[in-house]
Amino acid sequence: MGRFDGMKGLVLGVANDHSIAWAIAKEVLAEGGQIGFSHLPDRPDDARQRNRRRVAQLTDPEPGAKFLMPMDVSDDAQIAAVIDRAKEEFGTLDFVIHSIAFAPLEDLKGETTNCSREGFRVAMETSAYSLLAVGRLVRGILSPDASILTLTYFGGEKVVPGYNIMGVCKATLDACVKYMAFDLGPAGVRVNAVSAGPLRTLAGRGAGVDEMLGLYQHMSPMGRNITHEEVGKAGAWLLSKDSLGITGEILHVDAGYNIMGSPGRLLDLVPKAE
């Protein structure tokens, strides 16, 4: 018997096999869960359907993966179409993973102060408001004790150079988690977030993850970086019935980096003054 036997859910935003959402989904599937997936829509001129193909390579071999659909979170009709498909397939949902974030590269790479008005709107709508949109449209088919999980990052709590406007979006996403937890709490629905340390993901490459890996390794109390599997297990725990009393929380899976108030052991690498 697996922890997710008989449980059904949605995973929104898997990009490829390095996605944190896929690491969590693998844990759920391995323990008996059934999942409907969404992927980023392909461009009309992309005959190879690269976005769909990358995700289908992961989901097609999985008996518990029941469908795969495109979804643009800037379009409520597309979100509703995925949720309607889930209702048709499952009836009710026990969990939802929201793994969606985007900022135009020119706005992400520049100073936060110089972010364009349109870049701010796109980044905030895609990365933060989309959680509210999904929550609003899916709440009618959530089962009692259902769990909604999103993915955030420490750059929403403290300044992380290079994370820039995405840090502002994650700060907003963190607040959305807490207010949604309050709104949906009376129905028994929990809303939480996982804040992972740096991992080599599609989003991580855009945020300069390679530079962060060495910093985290030297500063974190555990003296190492985390793995996809560790985040996957932590995220799956928040989706399971083992965490029924937890909502509105941001669970840091970062080898303890977030607790540090100084460079810690990184100072050991700094030459001592004579």
Identify which of 198, 196, 219 has the alpha carbon closest to the alpha carbon of residue 268: 219
Of the candidates 153, 179, 216, 257, the residue annotated as catalytic is 153
What gap in Å lies between CA 25 and CA 34, rounded to an integer? 9
At residue 187's C-alpha, the angle toward residues 186 and 191, to 5°, is 85
179 is known as an active-site residue: no
Identify which of 196, 206, 204 has the alpha carbon closest to the alpha carbon of residue 228: 196
What gap in Å lies between CA 155 and CA 171, rounded to an integer? 8
Of the candidates 163, 179, 216, 257, the residue annotated as catalytic is 163
216 is known as an active-site residue: no
Q: Is 192 exposed, middle or buried (0-12, 13-18, 19+ CB in 10 A)?
A: buried
Identify which of 50, 55, 44 has the alpha carbon closest to the alpha carbon of residue 12: 55
Q: What are the start-end ranges of the H helices in the chain?
A: 20-30, 50-59, 76-90, 105-109, 117-124, 130-138, 165-184, 202-206, 209-219, 228-239
First to last CA, the chain: 63
What gap in Å lies between CA 42 and CA 149, rounded to an integer? 25
Residues annotated as part of the active site? 153, 163
